[in-house]
């Protein structure tokens, strides 16, 4: 029988944590042994979800007492930087919830801490557990439909309060010191990561960001990034003011001979002969991409390499794209992307 993977949860204010826990537990090796947050309401919620876990308000004791293999970090974007550094200093592998950090400097600290400690750093994105993303990316890069010349990604809803986010999550999403720049950081990160994965580091970025409708004091509630590559473009859109039943996160991969659109368990392929597109069911993903728990187990066992946007290096490139995009939006000038 395989050895258990002992996981502690550091931070509970990022609402994605409540999906990440069962996604980890899909692997029977994973044991959620303990959790920490400063908020008693969130600690109580974790106790209800995982009654066997030791849920505490002292994270230093937690790390010393439980000798965890892995830390799942789900605090604010800024707080997560410190949590990752602390966890890696105890020899823990780390899963941190997207986007990585609140800024590029924080992302670099996280990656450096993991490298120095010799541990794995996984950046979790909810879109990774939709099989269509992997199938569409593989198809777009395969050459079957010619050159991939544009990646477009839009992430949107009508604001965190409109989609049922918790009070604790909303508090820091609207706090630029903890989040970054509101919708800009929260939602351009998806498209920046997919572009970094499929196209690499752009030559330059043009950015537009503003608070168009929200009354809260936040850096931006809408943003658009235009990424210039050698022979390709990336287009990233983010909105906290969209009223629509459209999917909140939507990607379009433009190839020379087809448009490929991932959605859930299906992809739509539009060609000259079928311009309206044909929806195709995608096969089940490889076993290591079936769940966050499966990926964690396979990565720790050396059965797979870092994959796609789960790879911290890809997430760090995305953070650099976002940093350049924000500077472009503020300055009104195209910006180069830092690569070191």
* Alpha-carbon distance values, 247 to 127, 262, 309 (Å): 12, 11, 20
d(CA 300, CA 74): 20
Site of tokens 């502690």: 8
Residues 94, 202 within the same domain: no
64 burial level (CB within 10 Å; 0-12, 13-18, 19+) = exposed
Q: What is the pLDDT of residue 66?
A: 92
257's CB contacts (< 8 A; 6+ apart) are 145, 146, 271, 272
Q: What is the pLDDT of residue 339?
A: 81
Is 217 inside any structural domain?
yes
Q: What is the pLDDT of residue 126?
A: 96
Q: What is the pLDDT of residue 247?
A: 75
More confident: 77 or 339: 77
Residues 139, 115 within the same domain: no
pLDDT-derived band at 301 (thresholds 50, 70, 90) equals: very high
Residue 269 maps to which CATH number? 3.30.360.10
Final residue of a structural domain among 80, 105, 124: 124
309's CB contacts (< 8 A; 6+ apart) are 123, 125, 127, 128, 193, 194, 196, 197, 315, 318
Final residue of a structural domain among 101, 124, 147: 124
pTM beyond 0.95, yes or no: yes
Final residue of a structural domain among 94, 124, 154: 124
Is 280 inside any structural domain?
yes
Q: What is the pLDDT of residue 200?
A: 97
| For range 278-296, the mean pLDDT | 96
Q: What is the pLDDT of residue 1?
A: 52
pLDDT at position 246 over 80: no
Residues 174, 92 within the same domain: no
Site of tokens 């850096």: 219
Q: What is the pLDDT of residue 287?
A: 96
130's CB contacts (< 8 A; 6+ apart) are 262, 263, 264, 265
Residue 10 maps to which CATH number? 3.40.50.720
Is 187 inside any structural domain?
yes
Residues 66, 180 within the same domain: no
Is 300 inside any structural domain?
no
Chain Cα centroid distance, residue 296 = 15
pLDDT at position 25 over 90: yes
Residues 97, 197 within the same domain: no
Domain boundaries, position 49:
5-124
Residues 35, 174 within the same domain: no
Is 339 inside any structural domain?
no
Residues 76, 207 within the same domain: no
Residues 135, 45 within the same domain: no
Q: What is the pLDDT of residues 304-317, one digit of tens each?
A: 999 999 999 999 99
Is 137 inside any structural domain?
yes
Residues 176, 114 within the same domain: no
pLDDT at position 340 over 90: no
pLDDT at position 242 over 90: yes
288's CB contacts (< 8 A; 6+ apart) are 294, 295, 297, 298, 299, 303, 304, 307
Residues 324, 191 within the same domain: yes
* Alpha-carbon distance values, 330 to 61, 239, 240, 314 (Å): 43, 18, 19, 25
pLDDT at position 248 over 90: no
d(CA 218, CA 226): 22
Residues 115, 231 within the same domain: no
pLDDT at position 244 over 90: no
Residues 133, 111 within the same domain: no
The count of structural domains within the chain is 2
Average pLDDT of the chain is 96
- Helix pair 59-66, 77-89: axis angle to 10 deg: 30
């Amino acid at each position: 029988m395989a050895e258990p993977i002992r996981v502690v949860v550091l931070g509970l204010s990022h609402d994605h944590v409540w999906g990440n826990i069962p996604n980890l537990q899909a692997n029977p090796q994973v044991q959620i042994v303990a959790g920490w947050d400063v908020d008693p309401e969130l600690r109580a919620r974790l106790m209800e979800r995982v009654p066997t876990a030791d849920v505490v308000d002292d994270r230093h004791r937690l790390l010393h007492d439980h000798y965890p293999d892995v830390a799942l970090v789900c605090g604010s974007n800024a707080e997560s930087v410190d949590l990752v550094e602390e966890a890696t200093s105890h020899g823990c592998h780390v899963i941190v919830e997207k986007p990585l950090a609140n800024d590029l400097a924080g992302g670099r600290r996280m990656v450096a801490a993991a490298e120095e400690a010799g541990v794995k750093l996984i950046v979790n994105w909810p879109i990774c557990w939709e099989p269509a993303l992997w199938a569409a990316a593989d198809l777009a890069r395969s050459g079957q439909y010619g050159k991939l010349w544009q990646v477009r990604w839009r992430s949107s809803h009508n604001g965190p309060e409109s989609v049922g986010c918790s009070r604790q999550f909303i508090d820091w999403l609207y706090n630029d010191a903890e989040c970054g720049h509101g919708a800009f950081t929260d939602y351009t990160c998806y498209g920046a990561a997919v572009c970094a994965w499929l196209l690499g580091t752009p030559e330059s970025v043009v950015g537009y960001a503003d608070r168009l409708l929200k009354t809260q004091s936040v850096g931006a509630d809408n943003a658009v990034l235009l990424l210039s590559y050698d022979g390709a473009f990336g287009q990233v859109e983010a909105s906290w003011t969209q009223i629509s039943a459209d999917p909140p996160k939507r990607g379009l991969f433009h190839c020379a001979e087809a448009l490929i659109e991932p959605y859930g368990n299906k992809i739509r392929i539009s060609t000259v002969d079928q311009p309206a597109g044909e929806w195709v069911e995608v096969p089940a993903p490889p076993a290591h991409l079936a769940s966050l728990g499966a990926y964690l187990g396979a990565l720790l066992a050396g059965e797979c390499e870092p994959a796609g946007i789960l790879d911290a290096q890809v997430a760090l490139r995305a953070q650099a794209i976002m940093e350049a995009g924000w500077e472009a939006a503020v300055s009104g000038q195209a910006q180069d992307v830092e690569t070191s």
